[in-house]
């Protein structure tokens, strides 16, 4: 596939505000994501199992470290009788898993999510239990990839230096992991390189020994020192 190079001039990624849809799940208590059950009818026949076998089935679910809803429902069943255990295994675990899933989506929304993530999460919350589960297992990662690419495009839309531009374009032509790495690590490494080049150019232009020393000290001081010099320090020593 031919690599697509994006320049700052070609980027225009302005996102409109997103309105969150209301959902009962967003007012629920905290819960973990949970992977103990899926929102589907019970596949096993529990009708002829002994109490010990039923308890063993519930303990297997608890061993998968489910969310708060499933955990509480499972423990309540374990403190009950055979009918309580069967009801949990046949019905209750799926109802509790749906609750845990919705809380997990609400937690994602509570973070400073991008537009794609926010829209996908709200769409899931307004859908079926299967929609919510699909978002948690697949959709959130697809939406994050889209938001990450928009974030890189926004960086490119600024007047970036050569290192930043090259690193950003390389990320956009790579995998979702490449884009995420650029946002978390690569952009700062590229900015440091661009800052070093910018200060070296200033040193080459300035005849002032005081300015040259301050600039050299900034380069020796590392990333934060160089950024401070470019934004503040160079104007104080001119």
Nearest to 143 by CA among 168, 118, 107, 126: 118
Residue 24 DSSP class: G
- Give residue 62's pLDDT: 97
pTM (2 d.p.): 0.71
Average pLDDT, stretch 26-46? Answer: 49
Query: What is the average pLDDT value for the chain, to the nearest integer?
Result: 85
Contact 86/54 with Cβ under 8 angstroms? yes
- Give residue 159's pLDDT: 81
State the residue for tokens 């055979």. Answer: 82
Decide which of 172 and 33 is more confident. 172
Quote the percentage of the chain above a pLDDT of 70: 82
Q: What is the tens place of the pLDDT at every residue in 106-140?
A: 999 999 889 999 999 999 999 999 999 999 999 99
Q: What is the tens place of the pLDDT at every residue in 52-97?
A: 999 999 999 999 999 999 999 999 999 999 999 999 999 999 999 9
Report the alpha-carbon distance of residue 172 to residue 187 in Å, rounded: 12
Average pLDDT, stretch 152-172? Answer: 95
Average pLDDT, stretch 178-193? Answer: 97
Decide which of 141 and 38 is more confident. 141
Count Cβ atoms within 10 A of the Cβ of residue 130 and give its class: 0-12 exposed, 13-18 middle, 19 or more buried: middle
What residue spans define the domains of the chain? Answer: 30-153, 158-236
Contact 118/147 with Cβ under 8 angstroms? no
- Give residue 28's pLDDT: 35
């Amino acid at each position: 596939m031919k690599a697509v190079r994006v320049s700052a001039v070609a980027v225009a990624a302005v996102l409109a505000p997103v309105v969150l849809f209301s959902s009962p799940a967003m007012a629920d208590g905290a819960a973990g994501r949970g992977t103990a059950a899926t929102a589907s009818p019970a596949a096993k026949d529990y009708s002829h199992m002994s109490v010990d076998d039923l308890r063993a089935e519930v303990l297997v679910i608890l061993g998968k470290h489910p969310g708060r809803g499933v955990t509480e429902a499972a423990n309540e069943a374990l403190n009950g009788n055979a009918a309580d255990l069967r009801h949990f295994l046949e019905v209750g675990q799926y109802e509790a898993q749906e609750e845990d899933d919705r809380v997990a989506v609400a937690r994602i929304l509570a973070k400073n999510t991008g537009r794609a993530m926010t829209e996908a999460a709200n769409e899931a919350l307004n859908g079926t239990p299967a929609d919510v589960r699909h978002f948690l297992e697949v959709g959130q990662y697809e939406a994050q990839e889209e938001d990450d690419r928009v974030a890189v495009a926004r960086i490119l839309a600024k007047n970036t230096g050569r290192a930043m531009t090259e690193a950003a374009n390389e990320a956009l032509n790579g995998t979702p992991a490449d884009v995420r790495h650029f946002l978390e690590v690569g952009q700062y490494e590229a900015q440091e390189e661009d800052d070093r080049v910018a200060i070296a150019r200033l040193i080459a232009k300035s005849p002032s020994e005081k300015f040259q020393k301050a600039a050299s000290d900034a380069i020796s001081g590392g990333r934060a020192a160089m950024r401070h010099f470019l934004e503040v320090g160079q104007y104080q020593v001119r």
